[in-house]
Amino acid sequence: MAKAKPKKKTAERVIGGPFLAAAFYCEGILEDTHGKLTIQNIIDSLHIVLSPFSPKDMPSDKAPLPFNIQIMLAFKSGDAPGKHRLKLEIESPSGRRDIIKDEDITLTDPPYGGINIKNNIAMSIVSNGGLYLVDVYLDDVIMTRIPLNLTVTRAEMPANVQMNNNA
C-alpha cells in the first residue's frame, strides 16, 4: 500500500492594505436603500461668479464667501479590517491649514470590504480663489492629496441699472 503524500503548507496570501480606492470632490452624493452610491458631477475646479450687488470687499477676511462642497472617500480593507483613525486637513492658497475631520472609522472584514465616507466641507473663501488641497491621512499616514482650484469673479453691472452713490 502506497503512503499518502503529506499536504504542502500553503503560505497565506498577503494582500496589504488598507487601500484608498477613491478620493474626489463632487456636487452631490445619493445613496439608495441598499447602500449603493450615485455621484453627481465629479469636479476638480470651480468658478464662482459673484453678483455685481455683493459687497465690494467680498471675498476678504472681513467679508468671507461661504462655500460648501462634497468630498467622497472609499477605503478598502485588504488585510487590515477594523478600527483606524481618519484625518482630513485642508490647506488654503495662503498656506493656512485646518483639520476638518478627525475621527475613528471601522473597515469591514472581507478584503474587498471597507467604508465609504461622504463628507460635506464648509469653507470660507477670503481671496479670489486659488488651489485648495485636502490631505487624507489614515493612521497618521498620508494616503493622498486632493486638489481643488477655485476662481472667484464678479459679474458686471447691467447697463440699465444705476447704483445709488449714497448707499
Domain positions in the chain: 19-154
What pLDDT, on the 0 to 100 scale, is given for residue 149?
Answer: 96
Q: Which listed CATH number (1.10.1740.10, 1.20.1260.10, 3.30.590.20, 2.60.40.1930) goes with 19-154?
A: 2.60.40.1930
Sign of CA dihedral 126, 49, 100, 73: negative
What pLDDT, on the 0 to 100 scale, is given for residue 6?
Answer: 64
Please count the other Cβ atoms lying within 10 Å of the Cβ belonging to residue 132. 21
**How far, in Å, CA of 91 to CA of 147, rounded?**
10
Sign of CA dihedral 62, 66, 72, 75: positive
Low-confidence ranges of the chain (pLDDT < 70): 1-11, 161-167
Phi, psi (degrees; rounded to nearest 5) at 38: -120, 125
Cell of 135: 490631505
Q: pLDDT of 69-102, one tens digit each?
A: 999 999 999 999 999 999 999 999 999 999 999 9
**How far, in Å, CA of 26 to CA of 56, rounded?**
29
Q: Is the pTM of this model over 0.95?
A: no
Please count the other Cβ atoms lying within 10 Å of the Cβ belonging to residue 77. 22
Instruction: For the chain, state the CA radius of gyration.
Output: 24
